[in-house]
Homo-oligomer: A and B are copies of this chain.
């Protein structure tokens, strides 16, 4: 049984980050909104992992159920996403930088030539199936080689990313991996997912520039949320949004034969979970909750424009 608890990964591993760099204006002000606005990105992870994931995510993007999404470049369905990107040049697509291949029946390898990234591979030649061996074995210079290869593959396929984030938080799991992530994001002039916390060590803060935009809060469902409480989890999160910049991360899919087979034996972040997320973000009640709580939806591309 593999445990993939994104919430733990993101919250614990981002704990080194803090209030970052003094900005004279809030992100809201820089975007032309009142200083105390509640800005929200609703973000679908894992595009390209499966057709079911793509179909649900494209539909949610088209219906403005999510504002943004990120793509797993090593995954088999990348060409389907590249075709969508070509047909939807305004779609806010980033890269879900991927250093793991976590499902039981269905696996993928790196984009870089295997010879050049041996520390990223399990004994079968796929990316590591779990966070623990990934964190233990991955060499930072090989992670850098692979994420650069992923960005270059995306660009070559006509996907012009608006942002970067990290699948299963692997790039948040060690300071040297986080350093690679920030360095490459800076080089490509891309905003990147990182969450503000009160106790970041100076060594990590030193990696950040004045330009970097750090999220005030990240919301993601977790295995402790009962299926019957799914909508309520998100609606409570929306009611509790504070002024500042928040991202709600969802995983969208249809609970069909393909996704059930990809995620077999793994109800957490499984096919039914992704169907529930899809049902919430495409519901009229979700849009209504955002409106009633005066939430301003933004995209990563809005943040990208703030970078010089």
Task: Indicate if the CB atoms of A106 and B125 lie closer than 8 Å.
Answer: no
- Chain B residues positioned under 8 Å from A156 (CB to CB): 123-124
Given A124-B157, A153-B125, A257-B256; A79-B51 close (CB under 8 Å): no
Does A160 lie at the interface of the complex (its beta carbon under 8 Å from any beta carbon of B)?
no
Task: Indicate if the CB atoms of A104 and B116 lie closer than 8 Å.
Answer: no
Question: CA–CA, A80 to B107, complex, Å?
Answer: 10
Over the window 247-263 of chain A, the binary record of Cβ atoms lying under 8 Å from chain B Cβ atoms (1 yes, 0 no) is 00000001011100110
Question: CA–CA, A106 to B49, complex, Å?
Answer: 10
Question: CA–CA, A221 to B55, complex, Å?
Answer: 31
Interface size class of A (residues with CB under 8 A): 20 to 34
Question: Closest CB-CB distance, A141 to chain B, in whole Å?
Answer: 17
Question: CA–CA, A123 to B105, complex, Å?
Answer: 28
- Chain B residues positioned under 8 Å from A50 (CB to CB): 258
Does A189 lie at the interface of the complex (its beta carbon under 8 Å from any beta carbon of B)?
no
Question: CA–CA, A157 to B258, complex, Å?
Answer: 22
Question: Closest CB-CB distance, A233 to chain B, in whole Å?
Answer: 28
Does A175 lie at the interface of the complex (its beta carbon under 8 Å from any beta carbon of B)?
no
Task: Indicate if the CB atoms of B52 and A78 lie closer than 8 Å.
Answer: no
Does A113 lie at the interface of the complex (its beta carbon under 8 Å from any beta carbon of B)?
yes
Question: CA–CA, A116 to B254, complex, Å?
Answer: 39
Task: Indicate if the CB atoms of B108 and A76 lie closer than 8 Å.
Answer: yes
- Chain B residues positioned under 8 Å from A106 (CB to CB): 51, 76-77, 79-80
Given A52-B257, A105-B77, A262-B51; A111-B83 close (CB under 8 Å): no
Cβ 8 A contact of A115, one of B116, B157, B258:
B116
